Amino acid sequence: SQRMLKQTLFNLLKKTLAKPGVKNIVLVEGVRTPFLLSGTTYADLMPHDLARAALQGLLHKTSLPKDAVDYIIYGTVIQEVKTSNVAREASLGAGFSDKIPSHTVTMACISSNVAMTTGVGLITAGQCDTIVAGGVEFMSDVPIRHSRKMRKTMLALNRAKTLGQRLSLIGSIRMAHLTPELPAVAEFSTAETMGHSADRLAAAFGVTRLEQDEFALRSHTLAKQAQDAGLLSDVISFKVPGRDTVAKDNGIRPSSMEQLAKLKPAFIKPHGTVTAANSSFLTDGASAVLIMSEEKALAMGYKPKAYLRDFVFVSQDPKDQLLLGPAYGTPKVLARAGLTMDDIDVFEFHEAFAGQIMANLKALDSDWFAQTYMGRKVKVGAPAMEKFNLWGGSLSLGHPFGATGCRLVTTVAHRLLKEGGQYGLVAACAAGGQGHAMVIEAYPQ
């Protein structure tokens, strides 16, 4: 038919997504520290140390002059209170010029996506030409606070004028004051933990335990293959002070279906389907990318890896649709770019939970869901698995919340280069019921 012919022609021509009057923005390079299970080799560091390592790795890999950057933006989720603007501390510590302003952004698991798109915005607006964006997460140490009661007493002690006042305040301290307050893993608005929500999501879409375990095994197997084949070239090696040099992710553990089946559900007991093995694990790690206007990159003699094209942020009900960001973001960003699912050669979706990925794929493949919840006439369809997360994903490589977005974008660029594809799609979900999707186009080689 005519439509098919058109489609074939379009594929043959592989036209660029450049838009008239809009600057081309390119990804020059992307790096990350090895992603490690929290509590392992990075245990004694601070978050900005990891971010520093990523920044230094980027400098090293690109030979970028330390004063050639206009702005540095970092994403993070659980903030270390001493370095609340971790972007600034890390860029100073990495030896960047102190004349480069830096700020930190947060949007749960898509924080570094926000860092990157903020950079894109600054370039598009003509404010900057060269941006370093990145993300960092450090779960080996998290801010554990005194209880609110204790904090109140301590603050009152600060203001107490007389010894009597001080003594009476100290005397008011009870056992209950000493109970510490851990950072909540639960959604603030619903008080539900993410794993619990993921289990419900999987159940809502009828995702079985078997499907989840199979997907988890796939992720680990593909990650191991990629690691062994040396495809994970974004990983830099990092000499950890007082420890060995780390050069590899340490969470990749291909197991067997039998082993996976033995695990008990981690959140909904006893009939839940989400287990420790089919969920992403707590991870330490940092990433960094160099984003420039195409003109500037070329002027500085760089060979860009990819164009960063259309992107969308989406958000929905944080209770029942907490992790459906990719399902909502994908059709939207495709529409913006004028592409269909078939046009995409490389998919990189953030794997928070195997059940969450499967649910998103089922949502994308459902006309009913598209019509009932997305106001679309038809579904866009699910991505072809032979194009999907082929080098592993968050389940196996690890998921340092704030750093994952840059890993996804860099991986798409690298896979497009390696596989010879034209378009890539990144999609991710995030706490708060939010999500992100971005189209990336290969840079003509």
Partner 1 sequence: MFSYISCRTFSVAPAMSARTHVNYEVKEDVAVIRMNDPTSKVNTLSVQMQNEMIEVFNEVLANDAVQSAVLISSKPGCFIAGADINMIQACNTSEEVTKLSQEGQKMFARIEKSPKPIVAAINGPCLGGGLEFAIACQYRVATKSKKTVLGTPEVMLGLLPGAGGTQRLPKMVGIPGAFDMMLTGRNIRADKAKKMGLVHQLVDPLGPGLKSPEERTIEYLEEVAIQCAKGIVNKKISLTKEKGMMQKVQDYVMGIEFVRQQIYKTVTAKVMKMSKGLYPAPLKIIESVKAGLEQGPDSGYLAEAQNFGKLAMTSESNALIGLYHGQVACKKNRFGVPERPVKNLAILGAGLMGAGIAQVTVDKGIHTVLKDTTVEGLSRGQQQVYKGLNDKTKKKTITSFERDFTLASLTGQLDYSGFEKADMVIEAVFEDLNIKHRVIKEVEAVIPPHCIFATNTSALPIKDIAAASIRPEKVIGMHYFSPVDKMQLLEIITTDKTSKDTTASAVAVGLKQGKVIIVVGDGPGFYTTRCLAPMLAEAVRLLQEGVDPKKLDALTTGFGFPVGAATLADEVGIDVAAHVAEDLGKAFGSRFGGGNVEVLKTMVEKGFKGRKSGKGCYVYTPGLKSKDVNPDIEDVLEKYKLTPNPLVSSDSDVQYRLVSRFVNEAVMCLQEGILNGPVEGDIGAVFGLGFPPCLGGPFRFVDTFGANKLVEKMRRYEEVYGNHFTPCQLLLDHAKDSSKRFHK
Q: How far is the CB of 394 from partner 1 (least distance, A)?
A: 22
Strands of 275-431 (E only): list them. Answer: 283-293, 306-315, 346-349, 423-430
> What is the closest distance, in whole angstroms, from the C-beta atom of residue 302 to partner 1 in the complex?
45
The half-sphere exposure of 249 on its side-chain side, counting CA atoms within 13 A, is 35
Spatial separation of the C-alpha atoms in residues 89 and 76, rounded to whole Å: 13
List of E strands, 344-410: 346-349
Q: How far is the CB of 238 from partner 1 (least distance, A)?
A: 40
Q: 77 vs 323, which CB is nearer to partner 1?
A: 323
Q: Residue 102 or residue 366: which is nearer to partner 1 going by CB?
A: 366
399 catalytic? Reply is: yes
Nearest distance from C-beta of residue 373 to partner 1, angstroms: 6
User: Which residue, 306 or 314, is less far from partner 1 as judged by CB?
Assistant: 314
By CB neighbour count within 10 A (0-12 exposed, 13-18 middle, 19+ buried), where does 305 fall?
buried
48 touches 90 (CB < 8 A)? yes
Q: By C-beta, is 281 or 373 nearer to partner 1?
A: 373
Encoded tokens for 250: 């340490």
Minimum separation from the CB atom of position 199 to partner 1 (A) = 8
The catalytically annotated residue of 48, 128, 406, 429 is: 429
> Is the bond preceding 265 in cis, omega lying within 30 degrees of 0?
no
| Residue 140 phi, psi dihedral angles, 5° rounding | -70, -20
Q: Which of 380, 397, 393, 445 is nearest to 419 (CA)?
A: 445
| 183 DSSP assignment | P
Burial status of residue 78 (CB atoms within 10 A of its CB: 0-12, 13-18, 19 or more)? middle
Q: Which residues bind partner 1 (CB under 8 A)?
A: 188-191, 196, 199-201, 203-206, 268, 270-271, 317, 319-321, 359, 362-363, 366, 368-369, 372-373
Q: Which is nearer to partner 1, 99 or 188 (CB)?
A: 188
Pair type for strands 71-75 and 245-246: unpaired
Q: Strands (DSSP E) along 175-305, which ranges?
A: 238-239, 245-246, 283-293
Quick one: 43 or 204, whose CB is closer to partner 1?
204
For residue 365, the minimal CB distance to partner 1 (Å) is 9
Q: Catalytic pick from 196, 220, 350, 399?
A: 399
Quick one: which H or E segment has residue 167? helix 163-171
The catalytic position among 109, 128, 196, 220 is 109
| Residues that are catalytic | 109, 399, 429
